[in-house]
Amino acid sequence: MRIQFILTCQRGTIIPINYQSEITNWIFTALSKAGSELIAHASDMGYDITTHGFKQFTFSPLAIFPYEMDQVRQEFKLLGNQVKIGLSFYIASGFEQQVVAIFRQTPLQLGMLEGKPAFFEVKHWQILPKPQFKETMQFKAISPISVTLTEEIPITNPFILPDTEFYDISFFTHLIRRFKAANQYKSLAGLKLLDPSYPMHFRLLGAAKSRLIHLKHNFEGLTQLRGFAYDFELSAPLPVMEYAYYGGFGEFPYLGFGYVDFKEDLPVKKTADRSYQ
């Protein structure tokens, strides 16, 4: 499921440029309030959604306008009273209203206002329609995609560039590992996804832009991650395609990486959306 939230705040709120850790903690906090049916659904997937063990989600960058940026202090000063963010979960669509409800009950603590912690509350939301997935689709990385090397090839930087010769090996290795984890580690053959005549394929479209994001406290002890924003074409079985769209691409979607949308020049048939407020 994908939900777009509009959050309200006070004008003049100051937030850090690197805010991904706060968003991740907000999502974990909200999910910890899940009801019994959603808890049972996550348990069937092999997760306890009330803990930090459920990481099958990603999120877009905050849409902030208008604002002032302080490059020295690495801060945004919000000149408006709203921000927008897209949250994406690999959870059955029947739980959309329950997910909306727990986020409405959970303010986001982010930044400062007049020397005190600032809070953002859900004002409006829109449940985005499910796309009609195809075995070959083109995407645009809205947040950077982070992929580290999985092959034993000498390289000084573990975060590999999308135009590297062996990038697709690591790209698909991480994707399939996460997909199998979300399906209780069943084999691809058991999921009837192995087809030698239909190999998975990655194709970079255009140039990639590097993004370095600094992280605050997290349970893995990560302090910074590098990813790349780029357009790409992907060929994969439909269940894998759907998983990657909702659960995110790369290794660290739950830390604000791997949120994608469809390229504007590629029409995608969608069902009617639903908006609420």
CATH number for the domain spanning 51: value is 3.30.70.1890
Q: What is the largest CA-CA distance in the chain?
A: 61
Phi-psi region of 123 (alpha: psi -120 to 50; beta: other; left: phi over 0): alpha
Other C-beta atoms within 10 Å of 68: how many?
10
Contact between residue 12 and residue 83 where contact means Cβ atoms under 8 Å apart? no
Joined tokens for residue 149: 């090397």
- Asked if residue 91 and residue 25 are part of one domain, the reply reads yes
- Asked if residue 55 and residue 122 are part of one domain, the reply reads yes
Residue 271, domain member (yes or no): no
Residue 188 lies inside a defined structural domain of this protein: yes
Residues 6 and 104 occupy one common structural domain: yes
pTM for the predicted model, two decimal places: 0.90
* 196: three-class secondary structure by DSSP: coil
Which range is least confidently modeled, 8-12, 55-59, 137-141, 171-175? 171-175
Which structural domain range is residue 118 located in? Answer: 2-127
Residue 272 lies in a domain: no
Q: How many domains does the chain have?
A: 2
- Asked if residue 111 is part of any domain, the answer here is yes
Tell me, yes or no, whether 140 and 255 share the same domain.
Answer: yes
- The residue out of 98, 127, 156 marking a domain boundary is 127
Residue of 245, 247, 3, 246 lying closest to 101 (CA atoms): 3
28 within some domain:
yes
In-domain check, residue 24: yes
Q: Is residue 120 very low, low, confident or very high in pLDDT (cuts 50, 70, 90)?
A: very high
Residue 156 sits in the same domain as residue 204: yes
What string of DSSP letters covers 102-171?
A: HHHTSPEEEEEETTEEEEEEEEEEEEPPPB---SEEEEEESS-B--B--S----S-SB--TTSTTHHHHH
Residues 111 and 143 in one domain: no
Compute the distance between CA of residue 193 and CA of residue 94 in angstroms, rounded to an integer: 25
Please indicate, yes or no, if residue 277 is contained in any of the structural domains.
no
Percent of the chain with pLDDT over 70: 87
Cα 146 from Cα 252, distance rounded (Å): 7
The neighbour count for residue 250, using CB atoms within 10 Å, is 28
Are 58 and 97 part of one and the same domain?
Answer: yes
- Assess if residue 273 is contained within a domain: no
Q: What is the CATH number of the domain that holds 146?
A: 3.30.70.1900
Q: Burial level of 205, CB count in 10 A (0-12/13-18/19+)? A: middle
Residues 219 and 175 in one domain: yes
Whether 205 and 253 share a structural domain: yes
Same domain, yes or no, for 144 and 108? no
CA distance 241 to 75: 36
Is 107 found in the same domain as 6? yes
- Predicted confidence (pLDDT) per residue in 25-80, tens digit: 999 999 999 999 999 999 988 899 998 889 999 999 999 989 999 999 999 999 99
Interval 129-143: pLDDT, tens: 999 999 999 999 999
Tabulate helix, strand, coil % of the chain (nearest 5).
20, 35, 45
Same domain, 82 and 109: yes
Q: Which two tokens stand for residue 125?
A: 């939301």
Output Rg (C-alpha) for the chain, integer angstroms.
19
